[in-house]
Amino acid sequence: MTKDQSPNDGYTQVKTGLRRFGPALIVVGGLMAFIGIGQFLMTFVSAATSDFGDQPSFPILFVILGIPGIFILSIGMMMTQAGYLKEMTKYAAKETTPAVTTSVTAVRAAIMDDDVPCPSCASPIEPDSKFCSSCGVEVGTKKCPKCSAQIEAEDRFCKGCGTMISLHNPNA
| Per-residue model confidence as pLDDT tens digits over 66-115 | 999 999 999 999 999 999 998 888 888 888 888 888 887 777 666 765 56
Q: How confident is the model at residue 23 (pLDDT cuts 50, 70, 90)?
A: very high
pLDDT at 79: 94
Weakest mean pLDDT among 1-10, 74-83, 97-106, 150-159 = 1-10
Say yes or no: 36 and 78 in one domain: yes
Structural domains in the chain (count): 2
85-121 b/e (C-beta count within 10 Å ≥ 16 → b): eeeeeeeeeeeeeeeeeeeeeeeeeeeeeeeeebbbe
Contacts 24+ apart (CB under 8 A), 97-105: none
On whether both 125 and 67 belong to a single domain, the answer is no
Report the 10 Å Cβ neighbour count for 65.
22
* Mean pLDDT of the region 132-150: 78
Largest alpha-carbon pair distance within the chain? 109
User: What local confidence, expressed as pLDDT, does residue 104 receive?
Assistant: 79
Is there a domain that residue 2 lies in?
no
Say if residue 146's pLDDT is above 50. Answer: yes
User: Both 30 and 95 in a single domain?
Assistant: yes
Residues 6+ apart with CB under 8 A from 168: 119
pLDDT value at 171 more than 60: no
Radius of gyration of the chain (CA): 37
Domain encompassing residue 125: 115-172
Residue 172: the pLDDT is: 46
- Look at residue 150 and tell me if it is in a domain: yes
Q: Which of 62, 72, 64, 78 is nearest to 28 (CA)?
A: 72
Residue 3 belongs to a domain: no
% of the chain beyond a pLDDT of 70:
78
Please check whether residues 25 and 94 belong to one and the same domain. yes
Average pLDDT of the segment spanning 24-45: 91
Q: Which of 6-15, 24-33, 113-122 has the lowest mean pLDDT?
A: 113-122
Mean pLDDT value across residues 43-56: 73
Q: Are residues 120 and 106 in the same domain?
A: no
The answer, yes or no, to whether residue 169 has pLDDT greater than 60, is no
CB 29 within 8 A of CB 73: yes
How far is residue 14's CA from residue 159's CA, in Å, rounded to a whole number? 72
111, 137, 152: which is the final residue of a domain?
Answer: 111
Half-sphere exposure of 8 (CA within 13 A, CB side): 1
Q: Are residues 87 and 24 in the same domain?
A: yes
Domain shared by 125 and 99, yes or no: no
Looking at the structure, tell me whether residues 99 and 140 fall in a common domain: no
Average pLDDT for the chain? 80
Return the higher-pLDDT residue of 152 and 21. 21
- Euclidean distance between CA atoms 171 and 145, whole angstroms: 8
